[in-house]
Each structure stands twice: as structure tokens, then as C-alpha cells.
Amino acid sequence: MTDKRVPAGQRGRGASPTEADGTGTAETEAGGTGAGGTEVASTATESVPPAPGTRRPGGRTARTRAAVRDAVLTGLADHGYPGLTVEYVADHSGVHKTTLYRRWGGLEGLVADALDMAGEDSWVPPDTGSLEGDLRELAREVVDSFSDSSAASAPTAFVAAAFQSERAAQALHAFYAERFTRCTAVVARAVERGEADTDIDAAALVRAVSAPLLLRVFITREPIDSALADQSAAAALAATRAGAYNRR
């Protein structure tokens, strides 16, 4: 269940996952103290604004929210968005259906909140000391996050759900926007070291690193591996050095 509570491919690593989830664990445990899920989440992600189109109902414990999120992820992974029902989430979370409707509004709200929680982690991009190393690590983390089908199932289900639910689409957009914003720290450090120009479009660069990988995973359905990650990182580095991402 740990791997599903932390939806691989949706959490970080250059718009991809992490294996361990300190924040999620803390959140779940904090729930036992009676702290509200919203408050704990706020503490864990002070700099992360709430995703548009989602809401975080207050008053329930973080433990309840995590249990519901786990059930949503399991359901998405096993049945996809079309097969997911509020009944399923109720059965697998132990939270009554009427509570789910009251607090999350329904299925779209449940999925959006699960995605929102996926963004509430403490992931930070690699800091290897060089742009080359950082970009390579970012790309490799994306590949690692899709290394097996169980890790890939939840993020894939989120991307699929976004095609069917406007609210999920908004939550997915917000997730990636926030995730890529974290990645720009890599570019800021590169600028400080003189490895990139001050007018570089950092948002474009960090997206370029993972784009060829996510294209293959979610759209063309082609395999990815560490060699492809390295190639993508090398290409992004070369383009950076040539000034291709500089604003004109």
C-alpha cells in the first residue's frame, strides 16, 4: 500500500515519483493526534498553494484523508477512472459513503484530492553540484518511477482520469505546475554557477528533460530506460549551453 499512497510518477523527480514518503507517513501519524488533515498538509507544504479546482475539507483527521486517498489510488490503479465508484472508496477506506459525499462532494473531488495529496510531499530535486548531474538525476528518477507496472499504475490512472474529469485535469495541471516549479531550483543553481544564462526559461528546460520520457510512457507507449534518460538529459544540457532556452 505504501507504493500506492505515494503515487509514483506523480510526485516529483522531474514530474515523477519518489519511493519513500516521509510527509505522507508523518501526515498519517499526525492524524492519530487529532490534527486536521488540512493543517498537517499546510505545515508540510507551506510553499505549495492549494490546487485550483480542488478543496480540502477541514475537520477530518489526516488519517481518514490518507485512508481515503489510499482507496482512491488503489481503485484507480485496479479499475481506472471509469471503474472507480464512491462505493468502492467507501468499502476500501472504511469511511462511510455519506461522509465521502459530504466531505469530497463525489468521485471527482475524491480523485482531485488524491492528486492534491500526491503533491504534498517533501521531494526536492537533486543537487549533485552540476547542471549535467542534476538533469541526469532528474531524468533517471522519472525512469525509475516507471520501472515496474505497479509503480506506474497510479500515475497512469491520474493522467487517464484527467481526460474524463475537468476537475481531475485541473488537479493534474496544478500538480505538474508545482512539481516543475520545484525542479527549477536546479536551473537557479546552474545560473549561480554560471552554467546557464540568467535569462534562461527554466520552466521550459525542466519540462524538456522529462518530456521525451513522459511522451513515451503516457502517449506513444514505448519503453524507457536509463540510456534514454541520459540522452534526454544530455540533449537538454546541450540546448541550454547553446542558449536554446534563453528568452528572446
- For a second copy, the binding residues (CB under 8 A) are 15, 80, 82, 156, 159-160, 162-164, 169, 172-173, 176-177, 180, 201, 204, 207-208, 210-212, 214-216, 218-222, 228, 231-232, 234-239, 241-245
Which lies closer to a second copy via its Cβ, residue 61 or residue 156? 156
Residue among 80 and 105 whose Cβ is closer to a second copy = 80
Nearer to a second copy, 66 or 183 (CB): 183
Cell numbers placing 165: 474529469
**How many Å separate Cα 239 from the centre of its chain?**
26
Minimum distance from residue 212 beta carbon to a second copy (Å): 4
CA 19 to chain centre: 12
CA distances from 123 to 12, 39, 96, 220 (A): 6, 19, 32, 28
Residues in the chain: 248
DSSP label at 164? T
102: left (phi over 0), alpha (psi -120 to 50) or beta: alpha
Indicate the residue among 86 and 214 with the shorter CB distance to a second copy. Answer: 214
Distance in Å, CB of 118 to a second copy, minimum? 14
CB of 76 to a second copy, least distance (A): 11
Which residue lies nearer to a second copy by CB, 64 or 232? 232
> In the complex, what is the shortest distance from the CB of residue 155 to a second copy, in angstroms, rounded to a whole number?
10
Residue 129 zone, left/alpha/beta (φ > 0; ψ -120 to 50; rest) = left
Residue type, 114: A
Q: In the complex, what is the shortest distance from the CB of residue 146 to a second copy, in angstroms, rounded to a whole number?
A: 13
